[in-house]
Chains A and B, each alone.
Chain A
């Protein structure tokens, strides 16, 4: 079953001579429970695609379906609620809230939802990611790898259907990168989630179930041609 689908997804900026086609008509389907890597060079449109897939950005044209719901037909309020329940985001620069400790950062989306925190689940998640002992630490007291693991935990805390990761290892060394990807893979497998990850690192992309290549806002086929 396809958990996520995009239909003729476009994102254009500017107009006339200054028109920039960041995403230029992408049709993409992602099966539930799969690990998909989106690979492309800098400026290829992969981040823009990811943002539209996750409802962070609205497309110029086209649709995005998550769990058969057209997410961009929702208003901002409904989209925010949908996003925090169904989508988990992992950003390249971690984007933790500096004044909240690790536990608070992880449970942040649950608190936004005004739901009771399943302490057992969160603790298990933290142990899986090896950050339980840093429960009360603030982000500025953690290493890059630890911070990214906190970000991953936050993304998984609400048990979202999809985890979207934008270059999650971009700021990490190779050893830590491998570690983080393995943990990510392990977690989504354990909790039956779908993972879509952007990366420019071929080695990391090879760890995915499927690789999708993007160039100049369009997907490339196996032969490297736009489709």
Chain B
């Protein structure tokens, strides 16, 4: 074998340029797979990190377990970490706010991707730990070891010592979810022994779905509804389904592109060796010996190429890591890509792919060499015999001058190589264009959605508590006061009325509507503590269901018209007549709002159209009397109610804003009317929803001041929900930008590598025809004509590649648009609201420019090289 290695090594050294081309193609391909694989894995890491922040680190949660089961869980061999908690009691703060107190083990912070800021977690019965923002909300100073008197909903007054302050959980802060933690011990657990929530994180590299089931069975959790998989995390990890289709898709893609890069160049090299191998056979080598030489060369070239490619890939990926990139798109903030990882899987995949590709080429070469006689091989007639005879000249050939015709014909002759070269280039460019299109599609849709109600992106959101009397809310004077603050850009305010609709059962949309009512009346639907969702009407055809009415300003009504699926908004009409825009929830056949499998179709629960009349029934008399809202709506005492008929003038699929409490659930229909009509109907002129937009380029100081002012405003009406989304939005933006950076990096690397590959191929293709060029020069082709010919050839590559890329990208983009606009029906709300297809011209122009440039640049080297060679030498050259 060493003998063959020596021969192979001699060939490699002798034909340096060809060897370098082969090594380069392998190295490029490996580099591509390693770098892109690593960046793709980094994207996954980012997604997993985000999922952990959003939905916790646990793979599964077991509900309603007892201590015995908890102990069994802890003993299970495949469990990495467990955190147990239970609902201890509700803290009724004097501000009217309610804090959920949970008894929990310290590991709960780990599960929530959180940690202590100062102090320690609660371990004794009279100890409590609270998040920093919760303390702010309750106006409790950040002093450890202070005693706090807590009014518990079930257990009266009790004193707790504040032993720890926890870092802010941005998710909870953004939705105003107030929680505190007491110790997980027997005393606190008393009476709640069978209501423990056990959060379980399994060890690495296991099938988490199966482990969750197995463990559940082992500890005796029989009801599947009590085994709650962390779908968000498992989906991000690709672990939710039996096969990680995302990884499979990415791997196949990388293998194909990586493989093509190698095959196209390696193939040429092997074929060019046919003459030499034929010579060897002529002087006595056996077929087997030829194969050994081919394999030896393959092995040497592979080892050098792979090593080089891996080193380059690791080096390049590390350059990304820790690099600071500024987005320039949204903010001036620089972000560090510190989540970049080197993917061992990608390295393995790269080695496998490149080996597979060159093996294919080598097999092809071996078959050819051994099929062809030594004489034929020496005469190189095998190569030229590939040229097919054609009777008719194509139109293009007729119009081309002869030098360009030669180039054109050579391109047609090397169809496979061209196809491979162009496809490998097109993949990178297409991905870039499609990526750009997708980003722009969602950006445009996001902007459009925001234009329907900009306040959805405002930093602070106030929502009067559902427990407060309906008449309560913020006055225009109070709203004006906050609007005038220098830190405030804009304030949006809406009126809320919890009400009911009187409907004829006929308008229930078949099985969708019937099951919707069933679901809403079940324990998983409308909150049972608030009463039933639906009631019987006066007649047997009549039914009464819960709903919420929002009173909107003129500005908000105007914006709402953008989100209408049907109908039109006439603001004057809305102000003076009882007309309304409705939002009816879309459900699947089971009456469910959301189907995580994404397989079922969804339809409106009620068959309502523009022009229909709908009767609103509200306990106005009860509201006027100040009777408790929840009781009023639950008991449905008709004597307290008045009816008002509205004509539907518009239907919207999008809920621009909503009340954040259970009574204002978006699972029930929403009606939007003008502020005028709202006052006429309810007699209420106060606002329960206030959204505050902080000015752009705010400082930390601005944030602190405004936060304090908004906090003060929330305290005017006890129990008001305050959502502070500042940090949450910042983190989300950082994540989005990092994600985009990674995705774009992948596209750019693909283009670069494909570009290098196409450069390599064109280069090699031209160099390998030195003799042909020499002949033409010998019979009178001038240097200028030669240059034009070569340039033409390079540009043809570029044009074909650009056309192909653009055509494929356009088709894919159209497909994506159609899918999201018309087919994807997983959610109740449309995924894509702005159903307007567009062509992202910028990316197309960039791709065309890149392809033409590469095509042109690729010819510079060969041109110079061929120019340097004497005509007589070129004629004599053995290719």
A-to-B contact residues, CB < 8 Å = 51, 56-57, 76-77, 80-81, 83-85, 89, 91, 95-100, 104, 107-109, 111-114, 136-141, 154
Contacts and interface: CB of A to CB of B under 8 A. Distances in A.
A189 B750 CA distance: 63
A77 B389 contact: no
B770 to A, nearest CB: 13
B780 A84 contact: yes
Contacts of A108: 402, 776, 779
Contact of A81 (B385, B772, B780): B780
Contact of A89 (B412, B772, B778, B783): B778
B780 A112 contact: yes
A45 B413 CA distance: 38
B405 interface: yes
A97 B776 contact: yes
Interface in B760-793: 771-772, 775-785
Interface residues of B, number: 32
Contacts of A81: 780, 782
B401 A111 contact: yes
Nearest to B871: A56
Contacts of B775: 91, 95-97
B779 A112 contact: yes
B508 interface: no
B781 A80 contact: yes
B387 A99 contact: yes
15 contacts: A51-B872, A56-B778, A76-B782, A76-B783, A77-B782, A80-B777, A95-B875, A100-B409, A104-B402, A108-B402, A108-B776, A112-B779, A112-B781, A136-B389, A140-B387
Q: Which of B381, B387, B412, B771 has the most CB of A within 10 A?
A: B387
A109 B403 CA distance: 10
A125 to B, nearest CB: 15
A96 B772 CA distance: 8
A138 B403 contact: no
Nearest to B381: A140
The 3 closest A-B pairs by CB, nearest first: A84-B780, A111-B402, A99-B409
B402 A89 contact: no
Nearest to A111: B402
Given A100-B405, A100-B406, A108-B776, 14 more contacts: A56-B871, A80-B783, A84-B779, A95-B775, A96-B775, A97-B772, A97-B775, A99-B387, A100-B409, A111-B402, A112-B403, A112-B780, A113-B780, A140-B387
B870 interface: yes
Nearest to B401: A111
B406 A97 contact: yes
A112 B384 CA distance: 24
B235 interface: no
A110 to B, nearest CB: 9
Contact of A137 (B389, B403, B782): B389
A80 B405 contact: no
A114 B409 CA distance: 19
B410 interface: yes
A183 to B, nearest CB: 19
Contacts of B387: 98-99, 138, 140
A123 B771 CA distance: 28
B783 A77 contact: yes
Contacts of A84: 779-781
Binding site of B, secondary structure by majority: helix, strand, loop or mixed? Answer: helix
Nearest to A87: B780
A91 to B, nearest CB: 7
A51 B876 CA distance: 12
Nearest to A88: B779
A56 B410 CA distance: 25
B402 A91 contact: no
Contacts of B480: none
A91 B783 contact: no
Contacts of A112: 402-403, 776, 779-782, 785
Interface string B429-459: 0000000000000000000000000000000
Contacts of B385: 140
A134 to B, nearest CB: 11
A99 B782 contact: no
A104 B780 contact: no
Contacts of A51: 872
Nearest to A139: B384
Contact of A80 (B401, B410, B413, B782): B782
Given A80-B781, A112-B781, A140-B385, A56 B872 contact: yes
Contact of A109 (B384, B410, B780): B780
Contact of B406 (A56, A99, A140, A154): A99
A111 B871 CA distance: 20
Contacts of A100: 405-406, 409
A85 B384 CA distance: 30
A111 B872 CA distance: 22
A38 B790 CA distance: 37
Nearest to A50: B872
A141 B389 contact: yes
B389 to A, nearest CB: 6
A109 B872 CA distance: 18
Contacts of A138: 387, 389
Nearest to A154: B779
Given A91-B875, A95-B775, A136 B391 contact: yes
Contacts of B381: 140
A154 B780 CA distance: 12
Contacts of B389: 136-138, 141
Nearest to A101: B389
A57 B774 CA distance: 12
A140 B784 CA distance: 29
Interface in B526-568: none
Contacts of B771: 95
A113 B403 CA distance: 11
Nearest to A82: B780
A185 to B, nearest CB: 21
Contacts of A154: 779
Contacts of B870: 57
A43 to B, nearest CB: 14
A89 B782 CA distance: 16
A57 B872 contact: yes
Nearest to B781: A112
Nearest to B873: A57
A84 B403 CA distance: 14
B410 A83 contact: no
Contacts of B776: 97, 108, 112
A81 B772 CA distance: 18
Contacts of B412: 99
Interface in B394-425: 401-403, 405-406, 409-410, 412-413
Given A139-B384, A140-B384, A109 B409 contact: no
Q: Which of A57, A112, A140 has the most CB of B within 10 A?
A: A112
B385 to A, nearest CB: 6
B864 to A, nearest CB: 14
A99 B773 CA distance: 13
A96 to B, nearest CB: 8
A109 B778 CA distance: 10
